[in-house]
Structure 1
């Protein structure tokens, strides 16, 4: 369909790549353990939305701009790193752990965490370059509709990652629920998540 070949191999590769912990996985785990299932789901939805944008951007060829322009790549990478560090510092220096880790999430807080997950994924240029380098390998040169093929493969990859991350959110939030019974542990989890985000931002900024 659409000139896609070796689809089974593609799905197998997606599973292997998904099971390999990356920044998005660690971000979701940090949110789920520190702030609960609601925050984990919001982060997952935001990251998945960012992946959808990357899929269409790569299908339209916009990711090629990042691949061709060193300055554009550096700008987006540093912007993403700065945003992660900003989120981490906010959690590290939050004075009120109960405000930072609500037991139930209001619509506004859910949307705020969703937006943060979306921007975290969107501002990672390596995601864009991954789609540009990986997906085209499974599209035939004579494909009648390369755009549709790219989108179909991109959404397949997102689906595989979403299923796995839903499992992570579920189990990580169960662990977090037990740990957050103590206000001291809650504060420690919040600080740990903040340190994780700062570390991810520094890793992104210094990566080649």
Structure 2
């Protein structure tokens, strides 16, 4: 495993995106445990993209503009739904820690999975990224791709969890200010809209 692969992975994972926004929101609204659970969900959302790459389905997505557009706009729709849900749910970032009905770990994980699952750019990224570090002629190309994908997923979990735990560490200072919480809710909703817009106008 090369240093170039590790550095590229860290840069890609640490760059703020939908998963980071979701994990930060979980840390601020529900605390440290929820942020780690959200990081698990976002990491699991990588699995279908990894499998698509390894099995060659990514090649179909890469070649088929229709398949890519369908998945892309499904992702856009889900991001807009997340923005709407964040604005609508006044308890999404609750000031009173006892006011918000706790979300089950399953729901937190499912939202994280959907956020990454409905992101065709992740499949295309794997399709373009992994082959750069695998020799097509080597006998163990498939195990190597799986191993590299596993490292990418581990880095995703660690970085996202760190983002969330950091957000959770300042939660008490933030949640005591209702006006700040209101602006944060709008900010997260706006971030989902912006990320959805970016995905919508991004070509393959």
- Quickly name the TM-score band, shorter chain normalised: 0.7 to 0.9
User: Is this contact kept in 1: 2:20–2:160, CA < 8 A?
Assistant: yes
Matched, 1:98 2:91: yes
Per-residue CA deviation, residues 116-144 of structure 1 (Å, 9 max, x unaligned), is 11011001000000001011111112221
Q: Which runs of 5+ in 1 are unaligned?
A: 1-5
Q: TM-score, normalised by structure 1?
A: 0.85
The equivalent of 1:189 in structure 2 is 184
What are the within-5 Å matches in structure 2 for residues 48-197 of structure 1? 48-94=43-89, 97-98=90-91, 101=94, 103=97, 108-197=103-192
- Say which SS state the counterpart of residue 16 (structure 2) adopts: coil
The number of residues matched between the two structures is 201
TM-fit CA distance, 1:52: 2.0
User: Is this contact kept in 1: 2:18–2:115, CA < 8 A?
Assistant: no
**C-alpha distance in 2 between matches for 1:56 and 1:99:** 33
TM-fit CA distance, 1:147: 1.8
Would the alpha carbon gap of residues 76 and 53 (structure 1) be closer, same or farther in structure 2, given more than 3 Å must change?
A: same
TM superposition outliers: structure 1 runs of 4+ over 6 Å: 104-107
RMSD: 2.3
Q: TM-score, normalised by structure 2?
A: 0.87
Would the alpha carbon gap of residues 72 and 99 (structure 1) be closer, same or farther in structure 2, given more than 3 Å must change?
A: closer
